[in-house]
Amino acid sequence: MPLPSRLYLIVDPLDTGRDPLTLAQAMLAGGARLLQLRLKHETETRRFLAHAAAIREVTAAAGATFVINDRADIAAAVRADGVHLGQDDLPIEAARRLLGPQALIGLSTHDEHQLDVAAHTSATYLSLGPIFSTTSKANPDPVVGIDRLATARQMVGRPLVAIGGITAATAASTLATGADAIAVISEIVRAPDVERATAELLESIA
């Protein structure tokens, strides 16, 4: 299943204090059509669910694909298009049973071994990173780099998403390795004008 966009934006306020719905609306206004809600520090399920439901409404209205990070239960509750899981989250096959055969299910990987293991699951797509140094995680995995991303592309027979430290300056060269999409967080959510930053990033990879 091909990804619906080469730009995969992650709605995560990080340290900005911005409202997730406001961020999502600005991203959509800038042309984004593939969004993931990631709220690592939201400990209350009710609040996470409320944010997810609100963003599901605006993504549906825009015809955009909407994925929830980590929480397959919330993805099911709001009828999101899928879930993105980490190495220590719910196993892929359990998420598949919960969300169904058509769900978009992604899995984070950080090295070649994890990619190889993931290739034997029903994950729709795999992400690899961090490609560059990143500030969106407190304890990031070691940097993968462009060369290993290019090698990984040859290993993976399904959509591959590059993530981690990608900026407008490196977006096109990262996609040139053969990655199907780039996932971007800080470059957009910390931008003074999220809508404009989204539009400019899309233009840079057109």
Of the candidates 5, 108, 127, 136, the residue annotated as catalytic is 108
The Cα 50–Cα 56 span in angstroms is 10
The Cα 128–Cα 149 span in angstroms is 7
Identify whether 137 is a catalytic site residue: yes
Identify whether 40 is a catalytic site residue: no
140: helix, coil or strand?
coil
Residues 6+ apart with CB under 8 A from 20: 11, 12, 13, 37, 39, 51, 54, 55
Cα 86 versus chain centre, distance: 11
Whole-angstrom distance between the N-terminal and C-terminal Cα of the chain? 21
Of the candidates 40, 79, 97, 137, the residue annotated as catalytic is 137
Q: What is the DSSP letter of 128?
A: E
Q: What is the DSSP letter of 192?
A: S
Of the candidates 38, 56, 71, 96, the residue annotated as catalytic is 38
Report, as residue numbers or ranges, the catalytic residues: 38, 108, 137
